[in-house]
Structure 1
Amino acid sequence: MEHLARAPAPRSWIYYLVEGMSFKITTTLCASRVEKWIRAVKRDFLDGAPIKYVGLDYEFTNPREGNQRAAVLQLSAATGNLVFQICWANEVSQVLKEFL
């Protein structure tokens, strides 16, 4: 995802990858888009699943450049993937905190 290294504009991207399988990747720095993704994943995949799995990954800013903090949060559930550029975000919503 080379978009992550660029300046934050536009605020969200949605990719569809199809090579034998279909994945929807949402890349955003907007808290409302994160909330929308969480609601959709809960509705479409997690609410009806007897066992719920969500993949989680994160990246940090460079500690040599000062105060180290979370830069990117990545979540995956079924075929839905979210890449949240948290260091550029306008806010971190309560919906995300409760989901985690």
Structure 2
Amino acid sequence: MEHLVRDPARRTRVYYLKPEGMEAAFKVTVTLRARMVEKWIRRVKRDFLDAATTNCVGLDCEFTDPRKKKAGEEQRAAVLQLSLASETLVFQMIHADIKVPQVLKDFLEDGNIRFRGAAIGNDVKKLRLEGIHITCAYDYDLQKIVSNPTTKTVRVVFSP
């Protein structure tokens, strides 16, 4: 991932990725700015979540390097990724102007939004260190959702 902090003039970049064979492009916003996080949240709420019967957002975190931590220090959330529909936000918290904007905290703690991710329990735990308490997190066990190509049996389980 690009390290935006090296160029102080460009603290946000927007990419449009169009996979071959797909009509629509994915919009990926990579930012260090709390203001851009707020704009992204307002836009996806207005364009997607307000009209949806079930509010579901993909969530993933990357953490600080465990080899660089001081003795007794916990790994911290460094990068937060949120995705829904064709929109993705990559917020580089570790270098951000405001580490956890209040709008982001309110969004992540909204009990009406289901946050889903692979092994999301560790992400939720690390985000608690930042003062964020996600109440509606659901784990995707991809081995249960996607069939194993090496076996002949197919077992598909969807969790709420």
Partner of 1:37: 40
Partner of 1:61: 64
Unmatched runs of 5 consecutive residues or more in structure 1 = none
* 1:81 Cα deviation from its structure 2 partner: 0.2
* 1:62 Cα deviation from its structure 2 partner: 0.5
Cα deviation per residue 1:39-62 (whole Å; 9 max; x = unaligned)? 000000000000111000000011
8 Å CA contact 2:34–2:101 kept in 1: the answer is: yes
Structure of higher CA gyration radius: 2
* 1:15 Cα deviation from its structure 2 partner: 0.4
C-alpha distance in structure 1 between counterparts of 2:85 and 2:68, whole Å: 36
Of Structure 1 and Structure 2, which has the larger fraction of its residues in strand? 1
| TM-score of the aligned structures, taking structure 1 as reference length | 0.91
Q: Return structure 1 stretches of 4+ with deviation > 2 angstroms.
A: none
Cα deviation per residue 1:30-82 (whole Å; 9 max; x = unaligned)? 00000000000000000000011100000001111114211100000111100
Partner of 2:49: 46
C-alpha distance in structure 2 between counterparts of 1:27 and 1:7, whole Å: 8
Q: CA RMSD in A?
A: 1.1
Unmatched runs of 5 consecutive residues or more in structure 2 = 109-160
C-alpha distance in structure 2 between counterparts of 1:7 and 1:32, whole Å: 15
1:82 aligns with 2:82: no
Q: Higher relative CO (CA 8 A, sep ≥ 6), structure 1 or 2? A: 1
